[in-house]
Amino acid sequence: MTKLSVNINKVATLRNSRGGNVPNVLQFAKDVQRFGAEGVTIHPRPDERHIRYQDARDLKPEVFTEFNIEGNPVESFINLVMEVKPTQVTLVPDAVDAITSNAGWDTVKNKLFLIDVIKEFQNNGIRTSIFVDPDLKQIEGAKRTGTDRIELYTEAFAYQYSLGNKKAVKPYVVCAELANKLGLGVNAGHDLSLDNIAFFKNEIPGLLEVSIGHALIAESLYLGVENVIQMYLNRLK
């Protein structure tokens, strides 16, 4: 079964829009795990517009499943990850002003940088994953960095699937097959939803984990968080 990690950034966005501590990010993280989620994902950015660096510290003792911290490995992010020591760090090449993640790494051009960062995290017992586009050259490049896993950037698939183009999953299948052959674990995320997750999971060989935030929170407004998590778990079986 593919693991479901719930990205709780949107909960922090809602909290920050009003000030105070409603909704409570720590309680939400505990609840999604109690409802069956197998991981909690956060993506702190330097401006702390949703998840704050202190949230990462406060969440560490509350996450009893897998704790995944995503972000661009700038110095402040590296220091945070080294302090918190989550289960997994997912490296994402975000621009500082990016609204959301919008591209994977060029693992060829950034090979030496990624090797150094990944080695530092792995030496401290933190599993590493690299956010990549569905491009065979980038999968091969990821292998050369020494990363444990890749996370396939699925926005293009999700958009095409919404138009009825199921063939859009093919590049992801081919990349997952290569990753499996190279001994890389395969994660995926971005715009996956209740509408497309079962099809995607069934097509992708060896899919270990999906990280879902925006869609899951939006769907929960209508269907309820506990119910939505159960719906995802059923689709991921």
pLDDT digits (tens, 9 = 90+) for 222-234: 999 999 999 999 9
- Rounded Cα–Cα distance for residues 233 and 94 (Å): 29
Average of per-residue pLDDT across 176-205 = 98
Q: Which residue has the tokens 């080294």?
A: 82
Residue (of 160, 192, 154) closest to 175 by Cα position: 154
Which two three-digit tokens encode residue 156? 């293009």
DSSP secondary structure letter of residue 17: H
* pLDDT at residue 96, as a whole number: 55
What are the extents of the domains in the chain?
3-235
| b/e per residue 136-164 (b: at least 16 CB within 10 A) | eebbbbbbebebbbbbbbbbbbbeebeee
Residue, of 69 and 102, whose pLDDT is higher: 69
Average of per-residue pLDDT across 168-184 = 98
pLDDT at 103 over 80: no
Which two three-digit tokens encode residue 4? 């479901």
Percent of the chain exceeding pLDDT 70 equals 97
* Set 38, 50, 66, 190: catalytic member: 190
Average of per-residue pLDDT across 19-26 = 96
* pLDDT at residue 101, as a whole number: 56
Instruction: Establish whether 70 is a catalytic residue.
Output: yes
- Rounded Cα–Cα distance for residues 208 and 206 (Å): 6
* Residues 86/127, Cβ–Cβ less than 8 Å: no
* pLDDT at residue 1, as a whole number: 86
The verdict on whether omega for the bond into residue 205 sits within 30 degrees of 0, i.e. cis, is no
pLDDT band at 94 (very low <50, low <70, confident <90, very high): confident
Tell me whether strands 185-189 and 88-91 are parallel, antiparallel or unpaired: unpaired
> If you average pLDDT over every residue of the chain, what do you get?
95
DSSP secondary structure letter of residue 195: T
Which two three-digit tokens encode residue 123? 């030496």
* pLDDT at residue 97, as a whole number: 55
* pLDDT at residue 99, as a whole number: 47
Which CATH architecture fits 3-235?
A: Alpha-Beta Barrel (3.20)
Instruction: Establish whether 43 is a catalytic residue.
Output: yes
pLDDT digits (tens, 9 = 90+) for 193-203: 999 999 999 99
For the chain, helix (H) and strand (E) counts, in that order, are 11, 8
Average of per-residue pLDDT across 136-162 = 98
* Burial class of residue 135 (count of CB atoms within 10 Å of its CB; 0-12, 13-18, 19+): middle
pLDDT at 15 over 70: yes
DSSP secondary structure letter of residue 2: -
* Set 70, 151, 209, 219: catalytic member: 70
pLDDT at 133 over 70: yes
* Set 43, 66, 151, 209: catalytic member: 43
| The CA-based dihedral angle spanning residues 90, 94, 100, 103, taken in that order and rounded to the nearest 10 degrees | -80
Distances (CA, A) of 107 to 21, 55, 177, 215: 39, 30, 18, 28
Residue (of 109, 107, 190) closest to 153 by Cα position: 190
